[in-house]
């Protein structure tokens, strides 16, 4: 197993598997955080060329060219369907794991990965950058303070027109558009399932309606509506889509003593107190930039590698979230309510 120096990021050797937009973001942030060495890997020569030109990093076509150099950690930023095979390849060699969300596109192989992680005492973190968003951190704090009393229900929404995600690419070739690469809005927008569980607790059951409803040229679902029941009895609704022309991302939590509303695009949390009978507003910090949550996420991973922190979402937690997403997909396919194992 890779040995991690607890003194500084500068002692760490990272390999980043996947040179697309999120992979390059992680490379830039690792360099800004002082990572000792970063090696980029991608099957596509054009993407390796982009990394060499823009970031000046060493690149390889195959991870076989990296393992002999004993990397401390791998950052897996490849298409969803490749997450699990790459994670297994790394885990078998005792390499610590940062895996972009979702953990995988199917369940087969997950238990093997968890066993490897346990046996080799690997640090793992699955991309959960929304947990580092200042708005959701504020919502989490308000809930911890029982600011709205007992939670009754929650409504979550995320929607954006898929061709606008990466306008420099043909969306029809993106992993989001292709079932064989693990695409589809349920797995793509798994952040929403993850953060509502993070905020409100374990999910006991799910029902989902989903399908390809738009004129987008894709073979995955572009719209999904999930109905959830939490262990403590509250209800949840999650709407996800690839269709909305104006990016929209919100969360509303309804308690018996008030309401909390978070709006990503407005950069604001609003809290209504039934006792004070007024709204209070909390804005993102002045000058806050989206990349800050990705930096915070990677900095957290480095702290976990140095054993200074416990992972915000390790692969075991991420497996629970994946199980909910896969249950939602099965529910949509079979039109039935699915109870989840506790």
The reported pLDDT for the residue numbered 234 is 98
Q: Mean pLDDT in each 10-residue stretch from start to end of the chain (342 residues)?
A: 55 96 98 96 96 96 96 97 98 98 97 98 97 98 98 98 94 95 96 98 98 98 98 98 98 98 98 97 97 98 96 97 98 97 81
Q: CA–CA separation, 171 vs 65, rounded Å?
A: 31
The reported pLDDT for the residue numbered 7 is 54
Buried b (16+ CB within 10 A) or exposed e, 276-314: eeeeeebebeeeeeeebbbbbbbbbbbbbbbeeeebbbb
The reported pLDDT for the residue numbered 273 is 97
DSSP classification of residue 258 = E
The reported pLDDT for the residue numbered 303 is 97
Query: Which ranges of the chain would DSSP assign to H, the alpha helix?
Result: 21-32, 45-55, 80-91, 110-120, 134-144, 185-188, 190-200, 291-305, 315-334
Sequence-ordered list of residues with C-beta below 8 angstroms from that of 276, at least 6 positions apart, any chain = none
Domain ranges for the chain, please list them.
9-122, 130-285+321-339
- Report the predicted TM-score, pTM, of the whole model to 2 decimal places: 0.95
The vertex-338 CA angle with 335 and 342, nearest 5°, equals: 170
Which is it for strands 248-255 and 278-283: parallel, antiparallel or unpaired? unpaired
The DSSP code sequence of 214-249 is SS-S-SS--EEEEEEEETTS-EEEEEEES--SS-EE
CB 255 within 8 A of CB 263: no
The CA-atom distances, in angstroms, between 306 and each of 8, 12, 55 are 8, 10, 26
The reported pLDDT for the residue numbered 155 is 98
The reported pLDDT for the residue numbered 147 is 98
The reported pLDDT for the residue numbered 1 is 46
- Which pLDDT tens digit goes with each residue over 293-310? 999 999 999 999 999 999
Closest CA to 199 of 242, 261, 247: 261
The reported pLDDT for the residue numbered 4 is 46
CB 234 within 8 A of CB 200: yes
CATH architecture, domain 130-285+321-339: 2-Layer Sandwich (3.30)
* CATH class of the 9-122 domain in this structure: alpha beta
DSSP classification of residue 148 = T
């Amino acid at each position: 197993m890779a040995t991690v120096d607890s003194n500084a990021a500068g002692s760490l050797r990272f390999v980043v598997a996947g040179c697309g937009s999120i992979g390059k973001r992680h490379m830039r942030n690792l360099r800004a955080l002082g990572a000792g060495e970063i090696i980029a890997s991608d099957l596509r020569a054009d993407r390796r060329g982009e990394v060499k030109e823009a970031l000046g990093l060493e690149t390889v076509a195959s991870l076989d060219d990296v393992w002999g150099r004993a990397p401390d950690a791998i950052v897996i930023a490849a298409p969803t369907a490749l997450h699990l095979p790459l994670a297994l390849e790394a885990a078998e060699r005792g390499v610590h794991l940062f895996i972009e969300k979702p953990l995988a596109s199917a369940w087969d192989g997950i238990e093997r990965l968890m066993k490897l992680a346990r046996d080799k005492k690997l640090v793992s973190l699955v991309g959960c950058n929304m947990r580092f968003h200042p708005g959701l951190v504020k919502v989490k704090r308000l809930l911890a303070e029982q600011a709205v009393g007992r939670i009754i229900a929650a409504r979550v929404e995320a929607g954006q027109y898929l061709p606008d995600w990466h306008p420099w690419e043909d969306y029809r070739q993106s992993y989001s558009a292709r079932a064989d690469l693990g695409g589809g809005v349920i797995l793509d927008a798994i952040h929403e399932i993850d953060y509502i569980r993070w905020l409100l607790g374990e999910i006991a059951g799910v029902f989902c309606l989903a399908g390809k409803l738009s004129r987008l040229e894709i073979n995955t679902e572009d719209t999904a509506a999930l109905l959830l029941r939490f262990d403590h009895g509250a209800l949840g609704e999650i709407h996800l889509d690839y269709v909305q022309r104006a990016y929209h991302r919100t969360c509303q939590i309804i308690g018996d003593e008030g309401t909390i509303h978070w709006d990503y695009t407005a950069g604001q949390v609003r809290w209504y107190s039934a006792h004070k009978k007024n709204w209070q507003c909390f804005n993102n910090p002045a000058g806050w930039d989206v990349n800050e949550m990705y930096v915070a996420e990677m900095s957290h991973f480095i702290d976990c590698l140095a054993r200074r922190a416990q992972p915000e979402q390790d692969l075991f937690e991420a497996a629970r979230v994946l199980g909910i997403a896969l249950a939602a997909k099965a529910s949509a396919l079979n039109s039935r309510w699915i109870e989840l194992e506790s």
